[in-house]
Structure 1
Amino acid sequence: MAWQVWALASAVFTAMTAVLARAGSAGADTDAAAFLRSMVIVAALGALCLATGQWQGLRALSGRNLGYLSLSGLATAGSWACYFRALKVGGAAQVATLNKLSIVLVAVFGATLLGERLSGVNWLGVGLVVVGAYLLTWRG
């Protein structure tokens, strides 16, 4: 399948996570809720690796892979800890909207740290995401 199909499927699952996490963490400790969610993810992805025969791919990871993936995991943990705290007091639509400002940060980090080149139209899109996030969270 094309990457666009996988990316859109990811967007659907991401949207579902915001609503389900908000409902599931109501009245719960945010760190405990994020921990349970993480354990479900580990089990589901482990089962997927076993089912698809990709478990042996772990042996092929280099030290560099392990380092960056470990840092990515720590960043994910930080993201989820903050996300669940925000969901405890904010609406799912508003929290998810501000969370998606990560799109803007990925563009900036990709350009500055990874040397990725974005065109003028791409940067216009980044700006429109900022405007859209503002409009979606504005209480007018």
Structure 2
Amino acid sequence: MEKWKLLAIISMVFAGLTSVIAKAGLKNVSGDTGLAVRTTFVFLFVWSNIFIFKATKDFAYLRPKDILLLGISALTTSLSWIFYYRAMKIGEVSKVALIDKASIVITLLLSALFLNEQITWKTITGGSLIVIGLLVLTTK
């Protein structure tokens, strides 16, 4: 198995755990408070990872454009998390996570437009099946 696939599968497992554990942690607090606590831990874990794996040398390679793009990505991540946690607080985590993960369809379109990644019949079929699955599981 290619390394990127293994890493993506590990990410998938942890992402699935994250939603269920977070929903349980939101029992007594607002989505915003829960997100603030979670983000504090994420911040600490990510910086620990940088030092443990001696990745601090990478900072020398950052260009202003890279910092700008990563900053914009942080903004979109923050907005996504804020709305995700608010939705999880009041909705069923299984349905909220399902809708959130359908963002892959947006990713497929944007990666083709801005990163020149290929859209193939497989991409179109898979994206369509995701949308169909989303509609089947979330509509009455």
Shift of 1:57: 1.2
**Which residue in 2 is equivalent to 1:8?**
9
Task: Describe how 1:48-67 pairs up with structure 2 within 5 A.
Answer: 48-67=49-68
Q: Which runs of 5+ in 2 are unaligned?
A: none
- The Cα of 1:84 is off from its aligned counterpart by 0.5
Aligned residue type for 2:32? D
Deviation at 1:52, TM superposition (A): 0.6
Per-residue CA shift, 1:20-69, capped at 9, x if unaligned?
A: 11111123122121111111011001111111100221232111110000
Residue 135 of structure 1: aligned partner: 136
- Give identity over the alignment, percent: 28
Partner Cα distance (1:56, 1:33) in 2: 33
- The alignment of Structure 1 onto Structure 2 pairs a total of residues equal to 139
Residue 21 of structure 2 is matched in structure 1 by: 20
3-state SS of paired residue (2:20): helix
Deviating 4+ runs (over 4 angstroms): none
Q: Given residue 79 of structure 2, which amino acid in structure 1 is its aligned partner? A: G
Q: Can you give the 5+ residue segments of structure 1 that lack an aligned partner in the other structure?
A: none
Bigger Cα displacement from structure 2, 20-29 vs 88-97: 20-29
Superposition map of 1:21-40 within 5 A: 21-40=22-41
Q: Which residue of 1 aligns with 2:73?
A: 72
2:91 aligned partner: 90
TM-score, normalised by the number of residues in structure 1: 0.94
Deviations 1:93-138 (Å, cap 9, x if unpaired)?
0000000111000011111222211111211110001011112223
2:97 and 2:14 map into 1 onto residues whose CA distance is: 13
1:48 aligned counterpart, secondary structure: helix
Q: TM-score, length-normalised on structure 2? A: 0.94
Matches within 5 A, 1:85-124: 85-124=86-125
